[in-house]
Chains A and B, each alone.
Chain A
Amino acid sequence: MSIAAAPHGTTPGARTARRIRPLRLRLAGVGYVTPAMALLAFTLILPSLYGFYYSLHNIRYLKANEFIGLENYRYLVTDPEFWHVVIRSTGFTAVAVTFTLVIALSVSLWINQLHGPFALFVQIVVILPWVVSHVVGALLFRWVFVNDIGLGMYFLEQMGIHWFKPVSDPTTAMAVLVGFACWRTLGFAMLLLLSGLKSIPQDLYEAAHVDGATARQRLFAITLPMLKTPMLITLVILTVSNLNNIEGPLIVTGGGPADATNVLALDLYMRAFAKFDYNSAIALGIGMFAANILLALAYTRLVKSHG
């Protein structure tokens, strides 16, 4: 007789079976999660711990030399350029996330009302940039806006607007970068919000309709409150995504002109791979890792409390 099939009873054999079954289940559970945990340990946890250990040392030729405590962190936070980058990154992330959320919400509400092949077509168009490789997407985006030979520039020139060079001006370059971030993540945000919209019971809308609620009232009294959790989750994921994205700033604008689009992820890359200043790069990397952990915690809390 299998233990799993043992009947509930009060005999000693049955009590032993109840004790053994959870143990076996636990072992099986541990077996199932071990590969994933081992992978995470080797690719995330151990490198992070090793990175933190490195950050407390003077790094020369990629080798940890003498212990210097928090000197690398002190150096980083006293670097005047660093705070400009932090402020710029915060602004960029806030604007990009806000725009993406608003556009994704509008598109989701629109698509939610569509039916048939057209709805499918619109969804594909919106999701496509998210599915395309980020590097390829960034290169395509750059080729449209790059000066002189870009497709966008060609059309502008044909309209007689040959003075407008979006990636050459600090303000418009940042606008291009925000545009790229929205374009890249819009499909993902839309999917999350659309699934949230689909899960709202139709009964609520029908009852509101019977009570004479207008479309605006239905939006603010039913749709948005019911979408609170998907929106918060989307917000956290978009924040993490934009904060860590390197392809956009590196490929689309290169951080310029005059550092106008130099954000944290790119700054980390340039410190490490252009200046070979691994001391400040590792300190920045650990700092960003800590910020990401906080955002991940926020995400899990949101999922647990609202899920």
Chain B
Amino acid sequence: MFGLDRTTRILLRAAVASLSILTLAQQASAQTLRMWTFLDPASGKDPRERVLKKLIDQFEAANAGVKIQVEPQVWQQMTDKFLAATQTGTAPDVMWVHLRRVPDAIKLGALANLDDLFAKKWSKEEADDIDGSFWRFSAKPGAHYHITHSRSNVGQFYRADLFREAGIDPKSLTTWDKFVAAAEKLTVRGDNGVTTRWGFGQAFATDGANNSVVFSVMLDKNGVIFDEKNRANWATPAGVDGLNLQLDMIRKWKITQPGAVNEKNDDLYDQFNAGRFAIIRGASARIPRAMTALGADKVGFFGTPSFTEGKFSPAEVAGWSVGVWSGSKQKELAGKFVEFMSSKEADRLWTMEGGAVPIRKSTVKENAAFFADPKNAYLADVAAAMLEAGWFPPDGAGAGWNEELNRAAQDVLTNKTDTKAALQKAEQSYNRAHRL
């Protein structure tokens, strides 16, 4: 054949055979729904992964010939990968989009209208059951694009066992003064002056940053962190007060570890589990994992204190918005699966077995005994903090504000930069990155 030797001919035949097998496999998987999520149902390490596996099994059993193919992704890059894949026509049928990026996905036309797929068929009762600020986020008249799962709120994780030992009621820590006093009480120093336990663990690394104290203080005092053109507006008296409060926890009260300057959120969770921190600032979605490590009776959650008695400071809500790719050739089927994953039965599983905040009001009403159990009390605490002080990023806001605010904190601690100057530098960097 064209003077090619035997080995070459074998290689060419093998290539042709592989292509044929691939084509056949593609035809055979016509009823396969692809889904990108950070959960890996095959792993089952996280309670939510086990719930997802159960739901997939149930859906496949109820829909003969349908297979849900989960392609686990790295959460940090998953949404961007999806946005890129929509343009190359390779996006999955079902997608979990970071809540903060939902407006981007909608502007790009990447998400299908769920009203057209299933939501407009809902009874009023069913629509009311799921209605709320998450459902309305980025919605337009007659168009909803996502159902937010794994809802989370930044707040304070606390070691319930250490609080009990110290006789501190976490619900009493509603103001910063009380919070600092409690953290001082929880900080333990050895005879040699070495701190063996810090009252309040913080992390100011710029990679994968969470809302810091300054963020909540600015929202508490000013109500906004961006101006009307979505430009960062941080070098204000509220910003200076907030950053000073955050850093005085290291400099003045010595309740936060000095290493916070370059520690990451994951370090916080590790050290919290190790008993080195009594309180940390974290995302509530991580509570079930901490409970798995420590025991449900040792972990609790409370909202961010404020300067006003009995009121939480705002903190950003987060979550994973599940939607259907607008370019999917199986939109109806994908919609059916998204609806199934958000059904009453599924929400009960997500909540009671996965440790997730419920997305339906009926889940709370119909499972009162579950929520009354002290080991599940954190779900009510998270929901309360979310309802009272949950902050959704404004439409058109960029990204990276947590990282820039942490950079300002590093700048003050490391370079001894003036607090206001550090905030000015951070807001300039943010505005420049977003061409504002």
Contacts and interface: CB of A to CB of B under 8 A. Distances in A.
Interface of A: 20, 23-24, 27-28, 31-32, 35, 61-63, 79, 81, 146-149, 157, 160, 162, 165, 167-170, 173, 250, 253-260, 270-277, 279-280
A271 B238 CA distance: 28
Nearest to B108: A61
Contacts of B2: 27
Contact of A149 (B15, B271, B411, B430): B271
Given A63-B83, A257-B414, 19 more contacts: A23-B3, A27-B3, A28-B3, A28-B4, A31-B8, A62-B80, A146-B267, A148-B257, A160-B192, A162-B194, A165-B259, A170-B414, A254-B207, A254-B264, A257-B262, A274-B400, A276-B80, A276-B398, A279-B435
A274 B206 contact: yes
Interface string B251-288: 00000011101111001001100101000000000000
B78 to A, nearest CB: 11
Question: Quick one: which of B5, B207, B399 has the most chain A CB within 10 A?
Answer: B207
Nearest to A79: B432
Given A254-B207, A256-B262, A31 B415 contact: no
A173 B262 contact: yes
Contacts of B105: 61
A275 B11 contact: no
Contacts of A273: 76-77, 80
A20 B398 CA distance: 64
Q: Which 3 A-B pairs have the closest CB atoms?
A: A147-B259, A24-B3, A275-B400
Contacts of A81: 429
B54 interface: no
B293 interface: no
A279 B270 CA distance: 36
Contact of B12 (A31, A259, A276): A31
A276 B400 contact: yes
Interface string B72-95: 000011001001100100000000
Contact of A270 (B3, B206, B264): B206
Contacts of B76: 273
A30 to B, nearest CB: 10
Contact of A61 (B107, B207, B407): B107
6 contacts: A27-B3, A62-B84, A149-B271, A149-B274, A254-B205, A258-B413
Given A271-B433, A273-B76, A276-B80, A149 B400 contact: no
Interface of B: 2-5, 8, 11-12, 15, 76-77, 80, 83-84, 87, 104-105, 107-108, 192-194, 204-207, 257-259, 261-264, 267, 270-271, 274, 276, 398-400, 403, 407, 410-411, 413-415, 429-430, 432-435
Given A63-B87, A168-B261, A273-B77, A258 B410 contact: yes
A195 B343 CA distance: 64
Contacts of A275: 398-400, 403, 430, 433-434
A254 B262 contact: yes
Given A31-B8, A61-B104, A271-B433, A146 B414 contact: no
A71 to B, nearest CB: 10
Question: Quick one: which of A255, A257, A273 has the most chain B CB within 10 A?
Answer: A257
Contact of A253 (B262, B415, B432, B433): B262
A87 to B, nearest CB: 17
A170 B407 CA distance: 13
B181 to A, nearest CB: 23
A275 B76 CA distance: 12
A60 to B, nearest CB: 8
A31 B107 contact: no
Contacts of A277: 400, 433-434
A170 B8 CA distance: 57
Contacts of A148: 257, 259, 271, 276
A62 B87 contact: yes
A53 B77 CA distance: 22
A277 B15 CA distance: 41
A149 B271 CA distance: 7
A276 B399 contact: yes
A260 B263 contact: no
Nearest to B107: A61
Contacts of B400: 274-277
Contacts of B4: 24, 27-28, 31
Contacts of A31: 4, 8, 11-12
Nearest to B86: A62
B403 A256 contact: no
A146 B263 contact: yes
A160 B11 CA distance: 66
Contacts of A28: 3-5, 8
Question: Quick one: which of B80, B107, B414 has the most chain A CB within 10 A?
Answer: B414
Question: Quick one: which of B105, B194, B400 has the most chain A CB within 10 A?
Answer: B400
A295 to B, nearest CB: 27
Contacts of B257: 147-148
Given A270-B403, A280-B433, A149 B276 contact: yes
A80 B214 CA distance: 26
A169 B267 CA distance: 17
Contacts of B434: 275, 277
B207 to A, nearest CB: 5
Question: Quick one: which of B15, B107, B262, B274 has the most chain A CB within 10 A?
Answer: B262
A93 to B, nearest CB: 21
Contact of B414 (A32, A162, A260): A260
A260 B84 CA distance: 32
A40 to B, nearest CB: 17
Contacts of B107: 61
Given A149-B271, A270-B207, A63 B108 contact: yes
B50 to A, nearest CB: 26
Contacts of A271: 433
Contact of B258 (A63, A149, A168, A259): A168
A277 B4 CA distance: 51
B231 to A, nearest CB: 14
Question: Quick one: which of A173, A250, A276 has the most chain B CB within 10 A?
Answer: A276
Contacts of A173: 262
A127 B77 CA distance: 32
Contacts of A270: 206-207, 403
B15 to A, nearest CB: 8
